[in-house]
Structure 1
């Protein structure tokens, strides 16, 4: 078993969330500004990022700023200044997908650490190692991989590996304002949502009406999310034993109280495994998550065991 502690990473939507999630047991938080980051629980300006970094570093925790949007030419004019500001704020890494971010960091903030995250194309160790050669120090793996694939990539990777262990995933994204256009077609106005956790829009299938797919629209267009939440709580042992460097809880579209509780449960499960890897899994922890899980959102294991089909 790897002696390195697996990092518990969570997404955060506000400075208050950052403080609560770190106290609940998170080792790191992922934050960002809506202009540059996809599917963020909330938008941080530079002052918020500074405050979050101060909170985290005072606790020996980390802050990663997400710049994983599909960047168009008009966004690039301000990217240099934004990255230089982040470097001055001493954030621990930038999460990127677009090579424009890589080149900008190389030129203007070469000391900045880079976490590569393209959502869907990080599916083999050759691709991971390609980006390692370009300067990335961590790869965020695609959510469509099996557990066996994840462990194999880790074995052959030259850089850190991150995998999602809890929460919903995106199954569709369009730059178009599909929801707004649909509402206009119906002669209705779309009510602005300041907090994504307040979203109550869903898509349903004709033949499986019990399955609800959350849909929301933001600066980057329209997003449709999975109908179930990944929950790998009882399978953390193999991930930790294989030396997976970071595991992420996705908090988007969930209340803060739910996220705090889930973080604390995963923290306890991970600590218990590290203390005694041969001890049986504490089924009470999984029961605790199930007891507070929204009725319309079943728990599953995503593609880790090839169970999930969209």
Structure 2
């Protein structure tokens, strides 16, 4: 049996090295021009160094090209992918079909991972993109555990699922959301707008603070809680989910490295024996809880509750 991949998003090259030591065996990197909501900025030279490191440690390196591209960017797709092929990366995460076309025209054969945030919700669609070049589907965060297992049973492509970190609730390609709420007579207000990476949309009525930042790709609003499935991994591992992702966006490197180490222990314990995992899972959850930022409680996302759109 192949072990499930533990995929993590590093903040920089130093952090990637720490994550290798912590037990991650796959990494997603990229730059804002092509990728969305990245934990750190990796230019092509950084990606080249990262690939050397991952090869030395027999781990995988994937590059994010999951933006939605306007005409002014499409000409840059093929040269970028050709450069990635020269570097030898293991996969490209995409959402825009333009990536498929550009990849074909560029004569590139890097595997594609289909990622469209909310729309990867059934195995028919996953298989549709599989027939068009993708070998992996990154499932929507709004799916229940039962739905994920059903998709895995019927998908002809590999399946990736996020198990820890923030989830994006909203994205606009415009950077106007903060200004909009500042001038509304509502219960919500934008807090700490002076720092784009430490800004919150504050819902006083529900006592929630939604992380929000604006970058080259527009405005992004994240969930008020962090998903944490470390003590609920049994069914995901039993189902043979191919990749479990820890998303490090807006978290500091120490936190992400610690969380990665905990998940490595949990996954290894499960494959050693299910009873070993059951013995340590609560301890690992408590270890993460100890370093969890006070404003971001832990929950299990939509794994065990109905999604309400």
Q: TM-score range by the shorter chain?
A: over 0.9
Are the counterparts in 2 of residues 301 and 307 from structure 1 also a CA contact under 8 Å? no
For 1:1-310, list aligned pairs within 5 A.
3-178=1-176, 181=179, 191=194, 199-209=197-207, 211-279=208-276, 280-282=278-280, 283-306=282-305
- Give unmatched runs, 5+ long, in structure 1: 194-198
Equivalent pairs counted in the alignment come to 300
TM-aligned CA deviation for residue 15 of structure 1: 1.1
DSSP-derived class of the 1:9 partner: strand
TM-aligned CA deviation for residue 294 of structure 1: 1.0
TM-aligned CA deviation for residue 191 of structure 1: 4.7
TM-score (norm 2): 0.92
Choose 147-156 or 279-288, whichever is displaced more: 279-288
Instruction: Give the distance between the partners of 1:58 and 1:266, measured in 2 at CA.
Output: 22
CA deviation string 1:109-137 (max 9, x = no partner): 33211111011111000001101111111
Are the counterparts in 2 of residues 94 and 115 from structure 1 also a CA contact under 8 Å? yes
Hey, which bits of structure 1, 4+ residues long, moved more than 2 A?
179-186, 189-193, 278-281, 307-310
Choose 177-186 or 262-271, whichever is displaced more: 177-186
CA deviation string 1:37-62 (max 9, x = no partner): 00011211110000001001110001
Instruction: Give the distance between the partners of 1:34 and 1:290, measured in 2 at CA.
Output: 31
Are the counterparts in 2 of residues 25 and 263 from structure 1 also a CA contact under 8 Å? yes
TM-aligned CA deviation for residue 190 of structure 1: 6.4
TM-aligned CA deviation for residue 245 of structure 1: 0.2
TM-aligned CA deviation for residue 23 of structure 1: 1.2
How much is the aligned-residue C-alpha RMSD, in angstroms? 1.9
Are the counterparts in 2 of residues 179 and 216 from structure 1 also a CA contact under 8 Å? no
Choose 243-252 or 37-46, whichever is displaced more: 37-46
Instruction: Give the distance between the partners of 2:60 and 2:150, measured in 1 at CA.
Output: 27
Are the counterparts in 2 of residues 234 and 281 from structure 1 also a CA contact under 8 Å? no
CA distance change for structure 1 residues 191 and 179 in 2, over 3 Å: closer, same or farther?
farther
Instruction: Give the distance between the partners of 1:309 and 1:128, measured in 2 at CA.
Output: 22
